[in-house]
Structure 1
Amino acid sequence: MRIGLNQQLERDGVKTPARLGTVAAAVVTLIVIGIVAYRSAGRKEQQVATLDPAKIIVIRTPGGMLEVATLQKVEEFGWQAKYECPFIDCSAIMKPTISRVRVPVHYVYRIPLSETWQLQREGDQYTLTVPPLQPTSPVPFDTAKLEIESTRGWISPGKRGNEQGLLRQLGPELDRRAGQDIYLKAVMPHATQTVQEFATKWMREQGKDERLPVKVTIRYTP
């Protein structure tokens, strides 16, 4: 019985060229599948949104802060101090010393200017979004018109010490009021108009004489 050389080699555990070619093809196939699977793992494809340069105007700003609105208001603020008894209620005898201040206040609101502003074309107008309003701190007030009055009982802390405490608390209290929701909403229309005028002016100064209006949105963080 004759056995071919290749058959004999295969029986002896030796891989023939034909068998080696089959194994090599299988290995290459596995490598290709592995590469494709690796590149596809966790891969997400989506359209990249691009801005149409024809619909964008970039203007440079001088930087710093832009003052956009001022709110003038006469503010009143009170402060009191009293003695307390450790074991009994002696409030009927030891009345508190109460001091009140009345002063004209100027709340000034600004926005920070980035190096450039991008105005996006939307229909028949440009839109511009700017950072939230920032009140100046400390809040300025008219010291020449500041009025303080104090009342006290027979056994009460002294007026002078209470008035000094009142003045120490005045600055922080005005800072707190400057950021109140009602104050921010009151100045928002004026601030928006100021930014519109500023943007239009700078567009013209940089040779971008656009006739379309600018709609301004000031970010709001109460």
Structure 2
Amino acid sequence: MDIFSDPGFQTGFLWIIKLTAASTVGALVLGVLLAAMRVSPVPVLRGFGAAWVNVFRNTPLTLIIFFCYFGLYAVLGFTVSDDLNLNNYWLGVIGLSVYTAAFVCEAIRSGINTVPPGQAEAARAIGMSFRQTLTIVILPQAARAVIAPLGSIFIALAKNSTIVGTIGVMEASSAMKDLININGDRVLLVFAIFAGTFAAVLIPTGYGFGWLANRLAVKR
């Protein structure tokens, strides 16, 4: 049995890569917006950001994925594509993005808190608005402090993307289940190959984020 050449194995990990890439972009954009809300001088925005983080950080990802499928798609009729597989893929991306954005928000907010308050005060003193202060002064400095935490979040996102298999996307865990059903006498081998493939990709990725964080760290 050559698992590496099996179409299910290759397709499963290809879907994992697609889910991770699209969800990383969505979570990063949404997470930055939420972090801006959390530090905004407008109480309504701060309250909305805090509510989002508290709700999604404390809701199991499986429930969020199920809601995207049974709530958005089955009940509300929300569709992204006429192709069922592609539509399920985008529903999974939405669920992963809104869930992961809560963790990205808190990581970025912690990075913002590392920036000395004098930086924002100086920006306001020369007439910068809140948006200008945040985007030009604060976030570029905060980004250097959150590379390692964001790396851990996105590695967790890659592993969490296997949950999207529950709504019909043929990702790695679904492919592994099918191979186990076909090769019931080689369960341990199939599991070891799939687990090893994840480890072979994610362990170097973790070291890469760590190296980048050390390289760009602010020397105090």
Q: Pick the structure with more helix per residue.
A: 2
Q: Pick the structure with more strand per residue.
A: 1
* Structure with the larger RCO, 1 or 2 (CA within 8 Å, 6+ apart): 2
TM-score, normalised to structure 1's length?
0.26
Instruction: Say which one has the larger Rg.
Output: 1
